[in-house]
Structure 1
Amino acid sequence: MNTDSNTTRLPEGHPIRVYFQENDLIHFLLEELSNTNPEEDFQKYTNVFNELCTIEKRFARKENQLFPFLEKKNWVGPSQGMWSFHDNLREQFRLIRYYLKTQNPEKISTNTPFLVDGIYRLMHVEETVLFPNALDLLSEEDWIKMRVGEEEIGWMLPNTPAPFPAVEYVHPAEDVTPRELTFSLENTSHYDEGYMTVEQVNLLFKTMPLDLTYVDENDRVIFYNRGEERVFPRSSGIIGREVKFCHPPKSVGTVLRILEEFRKGTKNESSFWINYKERLIYIRYFAVRDANKSYKGVIEMSQDITDIKKIEGEKRLLDWE
């Protein structure tokens, strides 16, 4: 089988493509094992041998995933012949493992060529017979199901192979796939997008690093969020209070003009920034309107942007360490 022309055309994460990725590692380990004299560098030989022993995961995937799917297509040869080949190699591994334990480098050197030659012959049969025929016999659905089972067994590779089939990234703004909800809707309310309980809404407002105040269409304060650190102090006594009594006299005129323009529909947003207790505070007002564009009040949002103003360049990596 021509690896370059066939397997590279397989999708990332396809079981057969992963087998060939493992082949590269196996070839490297076999060469290292063959070139390491256990009498001169016993520890290196042991390390390479132990890594090669992870080929058992490859055997297990074939025996428990690939072979059963081939049996369903009435090809039982691999289950009978190749499984026996696996067992012969397992015996070779067991023997060398024993000589490593008993520190017998002479016996290790004698038996290593048998193990190496056996694995090379196995891979030749895989590449020329097993894998090409499996690709002809099995369907895309078979390979997808097989990959699911392989996840429990594992691979020789240092990193988990790419998912198969590939998980296509869909931008959240374009994701319209209906999904079965995995959470309870008990005690929740439905918002424009999604569901939350009163507790979750309250936690959301408490966690947001913003001061929010909602003044209704009658100019009465009906809500503010109680975060751990507010820019401007608030107390429960302001609920129901006219907004003009919630600002210092020198700024009341500005606030009332904002409300008037919002109510008339001539403006929808107004922004200010001030220095307060040696911090730069960004204050914004937004008109709230319903689907019919009727005025429903105003949101006041205040945020400490002192540290945000210092940001330059980019930060793309997590720096928690």
Structure 2
Amino acid sequence: MAAERIEILKDILLDLHHGASPDSVQERFNQHFSGVSALEISLMEHELMSSDTGITFEDVMSLCNVHANLFKGAIAGVEMPDSEREGHPVKVFKDENLALRAALLRIRRIIANYTKPENRNYQADLIKGLKRQFQLLGQFENHYTRKEKVFFPIMESYGHDAPPKVMWGVDDEIRELFDSAQTLALQLPQANIAEVSEKFEVFAKEFEEMIFKEESILLMILLEIFTQDDWLAVAEESDVYGYAVIKPAEKWEPDRSSFSAEQSEADSDSRSELTAEKPQIIETPAGQFTITFTPKEEKTAADRTVPQPFGNGYLSVEQADLLLNHLPFEITFVNKDDIFQYYNNSVPAEEMIFKRTPSQIGRNVELCHPPKVLDKVKKIFELLRSGQRDKVEMWFKSERLNKFVYVTYAAVRDDNGDFQGVLEYVQNIQPFFDLDGDYKRDL
């Protein structure tokens, strides 16, 4: 049955390839694919694109309207799922992929037109357009980073840590392929257009494969395991990392039931009837059972404003939090078990040099870094943990941020010298280079 469906889908796609309109194949598609999941159809399309049928990515894209019409019919009168609502992270993610695909297709067209003799006088305009489309396509970096820094931590918390590791490694390979293609494209007209096309197609093949993996594998897993609260956390943290080409048109607000204060009080009164002083007797065929209920004592939250002995003085929790957030550093603490435990808010998340979000708390430090730098991270932690080093320092000039960044990894040891974790502090020292004069004492 699956083989027969693939043949039918191949015939439909070939008809589209040869100029048939989506409307003309709609009835045949509905006849054979009604009730078939989107995932199964995507798998079949993927198989056909990977074969020697001549079916292209563009052909499959042209089938999108057929898909949409089919699913519209299937969900008529059914409430739209949260994931299809404006602003939901899944819809935003898919919309980005559509916009990135569009940039991909435009780059292909520009490269094809560049080689045509009749367009020789327009090559300067074509190069300008090509650079613009590469700039747009390069925004996939925001898409990938958001996936890696927001989706993956929550995914790992459910025990799914293998897919993120693999996908992050492939993401980095795609980044390198894009950089190679873009670097050569920016050298036009001196560069050879055939070489530009070749490098671009190597990138495009892997990029399109990743889109398939994201939508047919990754999102399917996430929709299965993420709760509504998880998606709310994703939506809340996504702005920090930005979006690709488009951004959410509106904020997603899920439908949620609220419970009245009266109902809560009634529940409380019902529970209070079951006390040691007033037991409930339950009659059963096996005899009587006596049930008592002792309310759990609520723990009183510590007063964050009360000063406590703190180093060489006294600080309240609230004051300590304020002081840490006012330091001119981005601070991260990874405990002795390699768990990311704390970061401060010295600047808004959008302005951080190394962006951090709440979903990363509780994550193993190895999962917080791309695979290509993992060996270096392990080496640093081993040097600090073993006592071979107390600090590891590094620095770099970021042209993108216009900052000179100084990074320190320091071993945290207790009074007995026992290793308790690693403190990372990151500082922008560009202002030090920009100091005017040998001193300033005008106040």
Structure 1 length as normaliser, TM-score?
A: 0.48
Highest RCO, 1 vs 2 (Cα 8 Å, sep ≥ 6) = 1
Greater C-alpha radius of gyration: 1
Say which structure is richer in helix.
2
